[in-house]
Chains A and B, each alone.
Chain A
Amino acid sequence: MIEVIDLEKSFDSQKVLDGVNLTIFDKELMAIIGKSGGGKSVFLKHLIGLLKPDKGSVLVDGVDITRLGTKELDRIREKLGVVFQGGALFDSLTVYENVAFPLKEKTKVSKKEIQDRVMQALEDVGLWGMEKKYPAEISGGMKKRVALARALITEPQIVFFDEPTTGLDPIILNSIHRLIVDTHNKYGFTGVIISHDIPEIFDVADRIAMLHNGVIVEVGTPDEIKNSFNPIVRQFIIGMEVPSFKP
């Protein structure tokens, strides 16, 4: 379980997170929605421990990761998988090497087992036969699939998806969403998806939280969010500009 308590973060004079409170339960798919530039990625980086908050806590299975040193934090990170916005694949490595990288570097499994697991992961994400390609030689959608395979290869307990469908056409977008749901069902991880894909995200997430002006303004199931009376949520869902007032 992940518990975020009163999380605050500012960059210079700009307050990006202004007291975020959120609980993400084990094995659920939680989507964080909100307008672009609204602090969603900054929020995600706090959950991974890539940024330190000015105030507040992030509890992962009861451990406050904002107070941990690098070694203790790394132990927590071994439970995590992250699919970054652009994939963050290593340019100098092939698709196979990218997916195998966490296994090679973090575990002592045999070469044969690495090969079996990488090929299985590539098959799971529909990239069988692409293992010798370099990231520069594959499309944006394929990169996201490779990133997903890399994030899942160590069978993490929690997987973070930072806008996994940004810049993709509707067909690829839906296939990536399907892939997230299928892999979630297969591996049973806790998933946190940063997204602004409305209405597609309603079919993917178990629960949805809306982040607006640095605070969570609404949390609920997709149906609850769809039927919310909160004007900020309503305006976001129907695609109108949300005025910058606080709830």
Chain B
Amino acid sequence: MERLLRILGSWALSMIRRMGHMFTFLMNSFYFVFVPPFKFNLLLRQMRFFGNKSMAIILLTGSFTGMVLALQLYYTLRKFGSDALLGPAIALSLIRELGPVLSALMVTGRAGSALTAEIGIMRISEQIDALTAMALNPMRYLIVPNIVAAIMVFPLLAAIFDVIGIYGGYAIAVKLLGMSEGTYFSQMEVFVDMEDIMQGIYKSVSFGVIVSWVCCYKGFYTGYGAEGVSKATTEAVVMSSVLILIWDYFIGSVLL
């Protein structure tokens, strides 16, 4: 029993230590966000990395999510005689919940993993040490541009996901299931408020921080060799995805 408690205690202490280390890393990054010199070129490059390169996957998943929602919700709402509410149901689901969450998960898989691998390879090939040895702060060059880029790009990607999803739903509801175009869009105008849109934006911004923070941290403190980078990449994707879902619940319950 004592041994079990000791193992549990040691595990808990190690978890607290690791969380503290991660949190210090994030606070350090935020500090350099506000301290010049600012690296605008690197910021633009990372915005392209997160945004432009994730566009295809966002368009694809967004459209299919909207289509699936339309199909499922249509049959459910029809049972209650509320099929006229299909448009707002799709829009609200996407804007408040599915757009921010699914787009963040997609970007984690596409860009987050690549980011961890890139920073991890820079670590094991001593490129990060080279920056430090040149008296240049690696946080400013590698971490800050990614965190700021993610904060700016995640809401935009979620917005694109929402719009494409709504049009995916439109294709199924109007073109396939024969719903009137006017009903689909006009009801949406009635039910979707600015507050719903803001909730989606708040979520996306926080997901941007989570994904860039976790992926940068895991790459920055990667283990040795190719195996270390591979392990860091897997951990970054899993941890980011889990944190997105957990944080989504908490922020959702606060904002509701």
Contact = CB atoms under 8 A, between A and B. Distances in A.
B135 A86 contact: no
B122 to A, nearest CB: 8
Contact of B133 (A77, A85, A101): A77
A50 B132 contact: yes
A88 B134 contact: no
A29 B225 CA distance: 31
A89 B129 CA distance: 11
A77 B137 CA distance: 12
A134 interface: no
B52 interface: no
A50 B135 contact: no
Contacts of B130: 82, 84, 88, 90
27 contacts: A45-B129, A48-B133, A50-B132, A70-B137, A73-B135, A74-B135, A77-B132, A77-B135, A78-B135, A80-B133, A82-B129, A82-B130, A82-B133, A84-B130, A85-B126, A88-B125, A88-B126, A90-B127, A90-B130, A91-B121, A91-B122, A91-B127, A102-B136, A105-B134, A105-B136, A106-B134, A106-B135
Contacts of B129: 45, 50, 82, 84, 88
Interface string B106-146: 00000000000000011001110110111111000000000
Contacts of B134: 77, 101-102, 105-106
Contacts of A48: 133
B48 to A, nearest CB: 13
Interface residues on B, range: 10 to 19
A88 B123 CA distance: 9
Contacts of A84: 126, 129-130
Interface in A66-97: 70, 73-75, 77-78, 80, 82, 84-86, 88-91
A154 to B, nearest CB: 8
Interface in B54-82: none
Contacts of A91: 121-122, 127
B133 A86 contact: no
Nearest to A71: B135
A156 to B, nearest CB: 10
Contacts of A85: 126
A66 B93 CA distance: 56
Contacts of A90: 127, 130
Contacts of B135: 73-75, 77-78, 106
B147 to A, nearest CB: 19
B251 to A, nearest CB: 34
A194 to B, nearest CB: 13
A86 B132 CA distance: 16
A217 to B, nearest CB: 27
A84 B134 CA distance: 12
B105 to A, nearest CB: 27
A106 B137 CA distance: 11
Contacts of A75: 135
- Which residue among B127, B129, B132, B135 has the maximum number of chain A CB atoms within 10 Å of its CB? B135
A176 B126 CA distance: 20
Q: Which 7 A-B pairs have the closest CB atoms?
A: A74-B135, A88-B130, A88-B126, A77-B135, A82-B133, A84-B126, A102-B134
